[in-house]
Chains A and B, each alone.
Chain A
Amino acid sequence: MVSFVLRRILVSILILVAASFLMYVMVGYSAQPLQDLQGSNSPNKQQLINARVALLNLDVPPPLRWVLWIGGVAKCAIPFANACDLGSTISNARVIDILPNALAATVQLVTLALVLAILLGVTIGIITALRQYSGLDNTVTFISFFLYSLPAFLVAVLLKEFIAIGFNDFLRDPVIGSVALVAIGLVVGAIWQSLLGGDGRRRLVVFLVSGLATSGVLLLMSATGWFMHPGLGAIPVVVLVAAIALGAATLLAGLRNRRALITAGINAVIALVAYFTLQHLFDVSSAGTLIILALATAAVGLLSGFLAGGYDRGQNMRVGIVTALLSGAVVLLDRFMQSWGALLIATNGRPIATVGSKTPGLSGDVWLTGLDTFAHLTLPTISLLLISFAGYTRYSRAGMLEVLSLDYIRTARAKGLPERTVIVRHAFRNMLIPLTTLVAFDVGALLGGAIITEKVFAIPGMGSLFNAGLDRGDLNPVMGYFLIVAVMAITFNFLADMAYAGLDPRVRIR
């Protein structure tokens, strides 16, 4: 095992070195870092050119310059010495200094997109697998084909032109027309009835209830000017938290499991108490406070599940933590929404941004800046997400169908387990194993895809570093970008292999 890991790391490093050489030489020969100076007509042109040649060692041919570069990179391996040297940009800034900010912006974007794509994709994949060849399944299959064929830049530009500008225009006079209300109700009703399934009567009931409820709530929101002053308020928070508790208990343990219900109930009550008592603390909160609160919430969820006891504590703990975190999210959402008015004022009533990663000159508490970040990241995240979402849907659907055909599932059904247990506890876990490989591949693809998304939305991240570097013939930032992306891709592949070996006992590591 240890020898496998060591060998694997060694091979990875060699691959990384070789790939960096390939990349360095290719960019080095295609780049023209002196182009802007040669075209300039400043009197000290030659001096400037000489200075840049000296700064970037341009008199050394790229393959040899790579040796200098890799020497600087190798210093990063010395622990605690802080001797990393990734070279400098054309404008004499050290790459190691500009990388962290860019990396933070991109990681924020990619992580959110990745997590959401996995959650949504796997959920929808499982549902379509359970409703194989239904209208829903065929629709989702077609949509995922469509998404496969949709270039990222097209999605990004469309989102920018329609969603951002359309939503901001809508906010100017936030009244939903009656035709739109009916249409939204019909669509939502159709989606819910296909998701929940059942016989004709049940479908009709689901369709009517969900459609009418959606239209009704939207009508209410529109009539009360909710979009200008959003917020959940006490009653909706209570309803939502109760629904989450019930839903988590139903899905993870089944309603007949009394202890799971108690766990969910305890967490829901705690969340509601927190909602009514912590508002003053929230007003003075910082990001750190929120993290502590989140950790405390998770701990309470796990602990309450453990204390509820029973023969299956793990299950109760899962119910507990899911209920606790989701209810906590509802409470936070409500608090974030209260800052909406301030954001509207700060952005002249056009909160959904199409450019950049934050509103320039905006200062305020953690709620306002957080909401501002959401408003900026929503569209780029959606455009990144849509593309990998299709992959997860297809893979998890195929995986679920394959797992469901195996003998142990038949055994589980034969011994009389309810369908919920068969799906959630037997099939779901094994279906997830092959997805680890897909996640590893997807990280690389998302980081690459960020080049386009960041360009369309003008986000100052890794992708724009790469773009600008390539355009100006600036080799070192491009290589800095490459280094990060390649290390991430290799690391995630490695982790996926290890996870695979850990999860699937048929795979042995030598």
Chain B
Amino acid sequence: MSTPTGAGPIPPPTETPADELAVASSVPESQGRLIWRRFVGNKVAVVSVIILLLIILFSFSAIGLGPIPGWWKYGYKALNPQENGGNPTLSVLPQFLGGNGISLGEHPFGQDRIGKDYFAMTMRGIQNSALVMVVLGLIATVVGVFVGAIAGYYRGTVDAVLMRITDVFIVIPALVIGSVVGHWFGSLGAPVLAIMLGFFSWMGIARLVRGEFLSLREREFVEAARVAGASDMRIIFKHILPNAMGVVIVSATLIMASAILLETALSYLGYGIRSPDVSLGLLISSNQSAFQTRPWLFWWPGAFIVSLALLVNFVGDGLRDAFDPRHRRFKLSKMRETRPEPELEDRP
């Protein structure tokens, strides 16, 4: 990637995209730095990461976590007297434009029918979504990487058996297996639900990692490591896996995006997080009949589900571009260099 081009002035960094800069610069860079630069050069992805972290941080700081209190005065379970007919008191229009100034008011997101503070409930929903996203993503990734790595490295019978097991899991649509798992474990709280769902979401990543390992295990550096006497486990985890990290990280991000949608969908169906705990999907499901009278009960959770999933998808897309510039926006005139090799299978 970073072929030294010898003489020639280095172009000013503000005018060239990150990957072209890398080609033009004469200093060899490590793969990690290149990827980092490409990712940072993608404004959408960077902004998405920042907003995503801010939202999650905001939700945790607002109502705290477990025994630790947050800065917001109401809890998500407490019943409060109805004020202002339960209408949201949030105002963002400054006074000189005819609004009430920027203030949160008593119940910024309004109150639900029995007087619970909707701001606190929405924040709790975001916490749970974030928790499920991270835990499910981590477990699915770890299991998937392990299965895929073993199958791809050892090939033969081990591969056949592991891949048939993967097929067994993959036959059942995610929402169906999720419903069954949620029906069973949903009442035990969000962390347990996330862990259990994670054990049923690893199939896609396992297939991808296996494919990656099948091609990487034939490379010379693996041969070198084997000649040097490295054990199988060392080759798998120290030599091959770091080279397959791109696939792993990108698909882990995409799993996280679908985890948010899965959790909210399950909670909507009643198989996810149960009352009195709060999930964004559960909020929509329990308030959809009040849509005509109290539409804000519907809008806040809906907006946050979409923004969380959208932000994670943007991050995933940015990561994909950073790890695999081939996927990156390519121009028709440049296609000769960038086009992928056609997949030739079983040539006679």
Q: Which residues of A come within 8 Å of B, CB atoms?
A: 11, 14-16, 18-19, 22-23, 26-27, 29-30, 132-133, 145-146, 148-154, 157-158, 161, 401-402, 404-406, 444-445, 447-449, 451-452, 455, 466-467, 470-471, 478, 481-482, 485-486, 489-490, 506-508, 510
Cβ contact within 8 Å between A448 and B335 = no
Question: Would you give the shortest CB distance from B182 to chain A, in whole angstroms?
Answer: 9
Q: Are A154 and B332 in contact (CB under 8 A)?
A: no
**Chain B residues within 8 Å of A481, by CB:** 176
Interchain nearest-CB distance for A223 vs B (Å): 31
What separation, in Å, do the CA atoms of A144 and B305 have in the docked complex? 16
Surface stretch bound by A, among B16-24, B210-218, B265-273 = B265-273
B261 and A151 contacting across the interface, CB-CB below 8 Å: yes
Distance, CA A152 to CA B269, complexed state (A): 11
Interface size class of B (residues with CB under 8 A): 35 or more
B7 within 8 A of A: no
Cα distance A133–B332 when bound, in Å?
A: 11
CB distance from B258 to the nearest CB of A (A): 9
* Cβ-based interface call for B168 (8 A): yes
Can you give 21 contacting A-B residue pairs, CB < 8 Å?
A15-B168, A18-B168, A23-B172, A23-B180, A30-B180, A145-B310, A149-B261, A149-B306, A149-B309, A151-B305, A151-B309, A153-B269, A401-B335, A405-B332, A406-B339, A451-B269, A467-B179, A485-B176, A486-B171, A507-B345, A510-B346
Give every chain A residue within 8 A of B346 (Cβ-Cβ). Answer: 507-508, 510
Question: Chain A residues with Cβ under 8 A from B329's Cβ?
Answer: 133
> Are the C-beta atoms of B268 and A153 separated by less than 8 Å?
yes
Instruction: Output the least CB separation between B172 and chain A (Å).
Output: 6
Q: In the bound complex, do residue B310 and residue A149 qualify as a contact, i.e. CB atoms below 8 Å apart?
A: yes
Q: With CB as the reference atom, state the residue of chain A lying closest to B301.
A: A154
Which 9 pairs across A and B sit closest by C-beta, in order of nearness?
A448-B173, A30-B184, A405-B335, A149-B309, A149-B310, A448-B175, A19-B171, A18-B168, A153-B268
The closest CB in chain B to the CB of A451 belongs to: B175
Contact yes or no, A506 B176, CB < 8 A: no
A145 and B184 contacting across the interface, CB-CB below 8 Å: no
Query: Which of B175, B180, B264, B344 is the one whose CB lies under 8 Å from A26?
Result: B180
- From B29-37, B85-93, B117-125, B280-288, the one touching the partner chain is B280-288
Per DSSP, chain B at the interface is helix
User: Which residues in chain B, 310-348, are within 8 Å of chain A measured between CB atoms?
Assistant: 310, 312-314, 317, 329-330, 332, 335-336, 339-340, 342-346, 348
Q: Which residues of A contact B309 (CB under 8 A)?
A: 148-151
| Cα A489 to Cα B176 with chains together (Å) | 13
* A459, chain B: closest CB distance, angstroms: 15
Expressed in whole angstroms, the Cα–Cα distance for A470 and B167 within the complex equals 24
Question: Is the CB–CB distance between A470 and B180 below 8 Å?
Answer: yes
Given A15-B171, A145-B313, A482-B176, A467:B269 Cβ within 8 A: yes
Proximity string of chain B (212-253) to chain A, C-beta cutoff 8 Å, 1 when within and 0 when not: 000000000000000000000000000000000000000000
Contact residues in A for B348 (Cβ distance below 8 Å) = 508
- Known A-B contacts: A157-B288, A506-B343. Give 17 more (CB < 8 A): A18-B168, A149-B306, A151-B309, A152-B265, A153-B265, A153-B281, A153-B284, A161-B291, A448-B176, A451-B176, A452-B175, A466-B179, A467-B269, A471-B270, A490-B171, A507-B346, A508-B345
Interface of A is mostly: helix
Q: Give which listed residue, A27, A161, A489, contacts B173 with CB less than 8 A.
A: A489
Which residues of B sit under 8 angstroms from A506, Cβ to Cβ? 342-345
Most buried by A among B176, B302, B317: B176
Residue of B nearest to A129 (CB): B332
Cα–Cα distance between A29 and B183 once the two chains are bound (Å): 11
Q: How far is the CB of B262 from chain A (nearest CB, A)?
A: 9
Q: How far is the CA of A22 from the CA of B170 in the complex (A)?
A: 12
Pair A470/B173 contact, Cβ less than 8 Å:
no
Looking across the interface, which residue of chain A has its beta carbon closest to that of B291?
A161
**CB–CB A449/B175 < 8 A:** yes
CA of A490 to CA of B168, assembled, Å? 10
Chain A residue numbers with a CB within 8 Å of B168 are 15, 18-19, 22
List of B residues within 8 angstroms of A482 by Cβ: 172, 176
Q: Smallest CB–CB gap between B199 and chain A, Å?
A: 11
Q: What separation, in Å, do the CA atoms of A406 and B339 have in the docked complex?
A: 9
Give min CB distance, A128 to chain B, whole Å: 13
B181 at the interface (CB under 8 A from A): yes
- Docked pose: A489 CA to B170 CA in angstroms: 10
- Is B193 interfacial (CB-CB < 8 Å)? no
A444 to B270, CA, bound (A): 22
Q: Which residues on A sit within 8 Å (CB–CB) of B312?
A: 149
Measured between beta carbons, the chain A residues less than 8 angstroms from B176 are 448, 451, 466, 481-482, 485
Residues from chain B with a CB closer than 8 A to the CB of A507 are 345-346
Residue picked from A148, A404, A508, most chain B C-beta under 10 Å: A148
Residue from A146, A444, A445, A508 whose CB has the most chain B CB atoms within 10 Å: A444
Check B345 against A445 for contact (C-beta < 8 Å).
no
| Contact assessment for A405 and B336 in the assembled complex, using a CB-CB cutoff below 8 Å | yes
CB of B104 within 8 Å of the partner chain: no
Which of chain B's residues has its CB closest to A407's CB? B336
- A153–B310 CA distance with the chains assembled, in angstroms: 16
Query: B173, A15: Cβ atoms under 8 Å?
Result: no
Q: In this assembly, does B257 line the interface, its C-beta being within 8 Å of a C-beta of chain A?
A: yes
Known contacts A145-B314, A146-B310, A452-B269; A157 and B339 CB within 8 A of each other: no
A148/B313 in contact, CB under 8 A? yes
Asked if residues B345 and A489 are in contact (CB atoms below 8 Å), the reply is no
Contacts of B332 in A (CB 8 A): 132, 401, 404-405
Q: Which of A15, A161, A406 contacts B167 (CB 8 A)?
A: A15
Q: Which residues of B contact A19 (CB under 8 A)?
A: 168-169, 171-172
Contact with A along B149-187 (1 / 0, CB 8 A): 000000000000000100111011111110111011000
Report A-chain residues with C-beta under 8 Å of the C-beta of B169. Answer: 19, 22
Residue B74 at the chain A interface, CB threshold 8 Å: no
Is residue B298 contacting chain A, with contact meaning CB distance below 8 A? Answer: yes
Cβ distance B208 to chain A, nearest Cβ, rounded Å? 14
* Shortest distance between the CB of B147 and any CB in chain A (Å): 16
Given the interface contacts A15-B164, A445-B173, A451-B175, does A26 sit within 8 Å of B184 by beta carbon?
A: yes
User: When chains A and B are docked, how far (Å) is the Cα of A19 from the Cα of B184?
Assistant: 18
A258 CB to nearest B CB, Å: 34
How many angstroms from the CA of A467 to the CA of B271 in the assembled complex?
10
A27 to B183, CA, bound (A): 9
Chain B: CB-nearest residue to A487: B171
Residue of B whose beta carbon sits closest to that of A161: B291
